[in-house]
Structure 1
Amino acid sequence: MFEHTVDPAVENVRAALLAAGMPDTVVLVDDKVATAATAAAVLGCDVGAIANSLIFECGGEPLLILASGAAKVDVKLVARKHGLPKITRATPEFVLEHAGQPVGGVAPLGHPRPIRALLDTELAQYPVLWAGAGSHQAMLSISYDDLARVSGAVPTSVR
């Protein structure tokens, strides 16, 4: 049997869900689910129902884009639509500093400080979404409306 150790980042996500009035829907899996494709395969869902929590750097600040696993985010479009400075890929160190979680395991909540967030409107078509929960082996399930509420994300087109 696979033994899961208590991960402080995952516990922060659990606490943030409960603090937002949500149930603890975090599940731990034996295999790493650091990509949308592997998460969808392990969870038995459409890759589009994976809500990737992508941290970008925007004017020196973090920007969280919650994008469908089936989407390739068009950062130029997003910047133009929202009047943002250039959006660039964040380094793993930048992500860990601002999210408190590793690339591939970033959750939509449970960060040390609030992060400006945008939510891919394509995710609204799925009744149940799956998002990272703070580690490469933790995922949480949530509805689109609850994801928007707990993340404070602004719904937008990302492609």
Structure 2
Amino acid sequence: MKVRRQPFHRDLKKLVDVHERSRRAATAPRCFLGETSAGTASLFTRFVPKGRGKEEGPAGRWDRWRGQALRGSIEVHHFLVERSVPHAFYRLERPLRRIDEASAVLGLDPGIVASAEMFEAPGGKVLALTPSSACASAEAVARAAGVRRVRPMSKARAAAYTGYNAEWLPPFGHERPSFVVIDRSLLNANVLYAAGGDTGVMIVMRSDDLVRATSAIPADIVASEETPSSTETPASAAS
């Protein structure tokens, strides 16, 4: 399986809408990614996306748990361009089912592939970003978010809340906001990979840009073998 970089001089429809079914792809503006002599990416050209009302997910792509249309890569792209965040999309020749499969199949270091997991907290939702080879500790997530306890969201609830496939969840561009925490180990890498919205599409960007785009709080949130993340756990600071 190979990863093929999508050149940014192509039409946006061909760039990010792998199913070519997005209702807005045909009218989406073009956008370019420049490269400096040092190999660093320049900022995207700003544009104002049409239709600032309710976002529409790509037609024909449905949440298998709730029968609702899902958001996709076009929404991720719009979110990042509005904030002038440099990024590039990669489309797999054959989609993977989960983001945690990417490092092994594509030969990537698990420490540079970010996995996203949703948690429910009193009064809100928390998004935890960890290396794809690890899971988040509920206790550590609660401590980082400053709440007494959190519990993992079910796949169905996460899909309904974010608007994305819960097994290929991007770190940003969600339908509703969440408090975001990121494991400190991800910040050791200059460049990170993550789910790009549509299943089988990955996004690559600088780690500091990911933190800026999500307003993430760095913390040590990876679960140890003795600390399962699947149970509701009170934060030690509140005990």
Q: Is TM more than 0.5 here?
A: yes
Relative distance call for 1:72 and 1:92 in structure 2 (3 A) is closer
Q: 1:55 aligns with which of 109, 118, 137?
A: 118
Partner of 1:4: 18
Partner of 1:112: 175
Counterpart-to-counterpart distance in 2, 1:77 and 1:113: 23
Retained in 1: the 8 A contact 2:99–2:195? no
Instruction: Answer yes or no: is 1:33 the counterpart of 2:96.
Output: yes
**SS at 2:168's partner residue?**
coil
Deviation at 1:81, TM superposition (A): 4.3
Counterpart-to-counterpart distance in 1, 2:121 and 2:139: 11
Retained in 1: the 8 A contact 2:99–2:168? no
When structure 1 is superposed on structure 2, of 45-54 and 85-94 the one drifting more is 85-94
Unaligned ranges ≥5, structure 1: none
Q: 2:81 aligns with which of 5, 18, 21?
A: 18
Larger strand fraction of residues: 1
Counterpart-to-counterpart distance in 1, 2:118 and 2:101: 19
TM-score under structure 2 normalisation?
A: 0.60
Percent identical among aligned pairs is 25
Deviation at 1:98, TM superposition (A): 1.8
- How many equivalent pairs are there? 157
Larger helix fraction of residues: 1
- Letter aligned with residue 80 of structure 2: L
**What is the root-mean-square deviation of aligned Cα atoms in Å?**
2.0
Deviation at 1:44, TM superposition (A): 2.9
When structure 1 is superposed on structure 2, of 73-82 and 48-57 the one drifting more is 73-82
Q: 1:95 aligns with which of 152, 158, 162?
A: 158
Relative distance call for 1:77 and 1:37 in structure 2 (3 A) is closer
TM-score under structure 1 normalisation?
A: 0.87
Partner of 1:136: 199
Unaligned ranges ≥5, structure 2: 1-16, 21-57, 59-70, 223-239
Ranked by relative contact order (alpha carbons within 8 Å, sequence separation 6 or more), the top structure is 1
Partner of 1:147: 210
Retained in 2: the 8 A contact 1:48–1:71? no
Retained in 1: the 8 A contact 2:99–2:194? no
When structure 1 is superposed on structure 2, of 144-153 and 56-65 the one drifting more is 56-65
Retained in 1: the 8 A contact 2:158–2:166? yes
Retained in 1: the 8 A contact 2:117–2:129? yes
